[in-house]
Structure 1
Amino acid sequence: MAHVFAFWESRAFYDSFMARSHDRLASAQVGTYKNLQAKLFDHRFDVKTGFEPRFTDADVVRVAHCRVHAARVENFALMQEKVWNPAMAGSPGMVRGIFGEAPGHEFLVLSMWQSAAEHGKYRVERVERLALRAQTEADVAALAGDVVQLEPSWTV
């Protein structure tokens, strides 16, 4: 399995790429993948510090794709900002991250870590307690996620 993250300077650049180049590039890749899924998330806020799509100072990315109950969207976003973000920001080894939103009450939380070991310390020590405090179980209808070991040769 591969995760590919792309960051666009603006919606206009993304739309231009889709109109001018996407189909040509996609047709050249036919047969090289199975079960491709793509989602476009709009930046809602940064995690820890000003986000930049630079991966040279991180070895691991934790990605969480959340589908949230419609009535709980604002609570979910508020808890991300007031509970989860400060906890991640205060964790040694957490570099930076981003919180994005897509139509249909979908959110993406992408956090970058210096190593799997550093992310593991955060996860073991805090996640259960934070989930209770943030009422995550009441907010989230579905959660898919992964811890991704970055491959430097894939960074462009």
Structure 2
Amino acid sequence: MIIKVITCKVSEESKEDFFEEQKIWKALSPQNGFLGQVGGWSNKEPLTACIFAFWENQEAYQYFMDKAHDEILLHSNQSSTYKSIDVTLYEESVTIPGSEKRIIHALEDSKYVRVVMAQVKPDHVDHLIKMQKAIWNPGMSLAEGFLGGSFAISKKRMRDFLVFTCWENERFYAEKHFPVLVTAAKMQTHVQKIKGEELVLEEAWRVLPCNNGT
């Protein structure tokens, strides 16, 4: 699975226009291999929009980029509504199972998203993947309101990781589970840089595939 992370910085004056223009991506719904897209405004930086798109594989994503992306964009004025844009592609390494077993259903039901982006120290990549499977996945499954997520590796920088998790709502993101897991996984030993992001999802930006498997 491919995860596309899009971060846009906007001005206060253009925030409403960006919000409206983001709705054009409903056109993703019928695309082959599309699994869903969600987004919202960063809790830490209210003028930063974070969008997360999910595709079955690289081939499906690349076909969309080659055949349909530019046509959708031509019907939009979105590029004039942000000051900067950053796009990063990740490929799933480990599925994080929650109450929903498929990412399509987690994206459909989630109201809140927690994201961690980490750069791992050289020669520590394999160990971090093992810790995800042995410690983080079982620990996350105990958290109330956790729907599911993905542990993924950057397509360009093999030491950069993304942990994307879906929650029923903001109040279910319980901090009590995480200090214990961080200690058990010895994160400070293996991670060079780490950044967290949290956001309440904008319902108007949620895009689900025409056939979501329900």
TM-score normalised over the length of structure 2: 0.66
C-alpha RMSD of the superposition: 1.7
Q: Does 1:38 align with 2:87?
A: yes
For residues 191 and 185 of structure 2, the distance between their equivalents in structure 1, rounded to whole angstroms, comes to 11
- TM-superposed CA distance for 1:42, in Å, is 0.7
Question: Partner residue of 2:171?
Answer: 117
Q: Does 1:76 align with 2:128?
A: yes
Question: Partner residue of 1:108?
Answer: 162
For residues 73 and 188 of structure 2, the distance between their equivalents in structure 1, rounded to whole angstroms, comes to 38
One-letter amino acid of the counterpart of residue 67, structure 2: R
For residues 21 and 52 of structure 1, the distance between their equivalents in structure 2, rounded to whole angstroms, comes to 23
Aligned residues with identical type, % of pairs: 28
Q: C-alpha offsets along residues 50-87 of structure 1, whole Å, 9 cap, x if unaligned?
A: 33234332211101111111211111111111111111
Classify 1:51/1:145 alpha carbon distance in 2 versus 1 (closer, same or farther; 3 Å).
farther
Answer yes or no: is the 8 Å Cα contact 1:62–1:145 preserved in 2: yes
Query: Between Structure 1 and Structure 2, how many residues are aligned?
Result: 153
Gaps of 5+ in 2: 1-47, 208-214
For residues 19 and 136 of structure 1, the distance between their equivalents in structure 2, rounded to whole angstroms, comes to 39
Question: Partner residue of 2:54?
Answer: 7
Answer yes or no: is the 8 Å Cα contact 1:100–1:109 preserved in 2: yes
Q: Give the alignment of 1:21-36 within 5 angstroms.
A: 21-26=68-73, 28=76, 29-36=78-85
Question: Partner residue of 1:98?
Answer: 150
For residues 83 and 89 of structure 2, the distance between their equivalents in structure 1, rounded to whole angstroms, comes to 19
TM-score normalised over the length of structure 1: 0.88
Question: Partner residue of 2:187?
Answer: 136
Q: C-alpha offsets along residues 10-38 of structure 1, whole Å, 9 cap, x if unaligned?
A: 21111112223334545643222122111
For residues 139 and 118 of structure 2, the distance between their equivalents in structure 1, rounded to whole angstroms, comes to 19
- TM-superposed CA distance for 1:145, in Å, is 1.7
For residues 51 and 70 of structure 1, the distance between their equivalents in structure 2, rounded to whole angstroms, comes to 32
Answer yes or no: is the 8 Å Cα contact 1:95–1:113 preserved in 2: yes
For residues 91 and 60 of structure 1, the distance between their equivalents in structure 2, rounded to whole angstroms, comes to 14
For residues 137 and 108 of structure 1, the distance between their equivalents in structure 2, rounded to whole angstroms, comes to 16
- By percentage of residues, which structure has more strand? 2
- By percentage of residues, which structure has more helix? 1
